[in-house]
Amino acid sequence: MSAGADDFLVKPINPRHLIPAVRSRVERFRDLRDLMSRDSLTGLYNHATAKELLETELARAGRSGATVSFAMLDIDHFKAVNDTFGHAVGDSVIKALSSILTRRLRKGDVIGRLGGEEFGAILPDTSADEAFSVMETIRIAFEEISKNAAECDAPITLSCGIATFPACDTAMSLSEAADRALYEAKTKGRNKTVLAGPSVVTPDKIFGLSR
């Protein structure tokens, strides 16, 4: 017990005692793992876990020759939302975006809350243009929901930057490129989605893809 054990089973072990003991420890381990890897407000992956999963997904894509897109999303003027409407409304806004991301993205996509009002989405087997289409639908849906929110008298919007592997060949370069694209979206007036690099997306591509 002093070495760290939380129980001691004496041989011969009765299966009726062993199975519940193992089951309870497995459940406790899963709960602890979720606490360590998930954001407490949204239930999404936290920053550290999202970063690890991005590394894992890029390693897989590098072996298979697949494309991976990474999107960074940031709620526009979020400090003003908290200052004007209070932190409870701010939390509701963050939860609303979390819910939209969870509903609109695929089960195989990875969604994380990177900190504060910033989110990240890892989209395996997704080109830059496909990622742009998906993020535009999410951006528009978020704006529409905020327009109808009783707590807010003005729509709340988000900006998004997208980068793609293998154009960016490491997790760091991918994150930095997406962050630069996000910054560009902010400087161009916010409530926009911007692709990193030379890809060009025309308006007819925005809703032409099924995801």
Give percent above pLDDT 70 in the chain. 85
The answer to whether residue 113 is domain-embedded is yes
- What average pLDDT score do residues 35-55 get? 90
The answer to whether residue 100 is domain-embedded is yes
Q: What is the pLDDT of residue 152?
A: 64
| CA 180 to each of CA 25, 34, 195: distance values in angstroms, whole numbers, following the listed order | 44, 31, 9
The answer to whether residue 3 is domain-embedded is no
User: What is the separation of C-alpha 81 from the centre of its chain, rounded to a whole number of angstroms?
Assistant: 21
| CA 163 to each of CA 34, 88, 126, 150: distance values in angstroms, whole numbers, following the listed order | 28, 32, 11, 35
Task: Indicate the pLDDT class of residue 75, thresholds 50, 70 and 90.
Answer: very high
Q: What is the pLDDT of residue 103?
A: 95
- Spatial CB neighbours of 84, under 8 Å, sequence gap ≥ 6: none
* Averaged pLDDT of the chain: 86
Instruction: Write a three-state SS string for 109-168.
Output: CEEEEEECCEEEEEEECCCHHHHHHHHHHHHHHHHHHHHCCCCCCCCCCEEEEEEEECCC
The answer to whether residue 21 is domain-embedded is no
Number of folded domains that form the chain = 1
The answer to whether residue 102 is domain-embedded is yes
The answer to whether residue 29 is domain-embedded is no
| Domain around 138 | 47-205
Q: What is the pLDDT of residue 202?
A: 37
pTM (2 d.p.): 0.78
The answer to whether residue 54 is domain-embedded is yes
- What average pLDDT score do residues 3-27 get? 77
The answer to whether residue 128 is domain-embedded is yes
CATH number of the domain at 201, please.
3.30.70.270
Q: Which residues are catalytic?
A: 117
Q: What is the pLDDT of residue 203?
A: 40
What are the tens digits of pLDDT across the range 149-208? Answer: 656 667 799 999 999 999 999 999 999 999 999 999 999 999 999 999 754 443 434 444
What are the tens digits of pLDDT across the range 106-153? Answer: 999 999 999 999 999 999 999 999 999 999 999 999 999 877 665 666
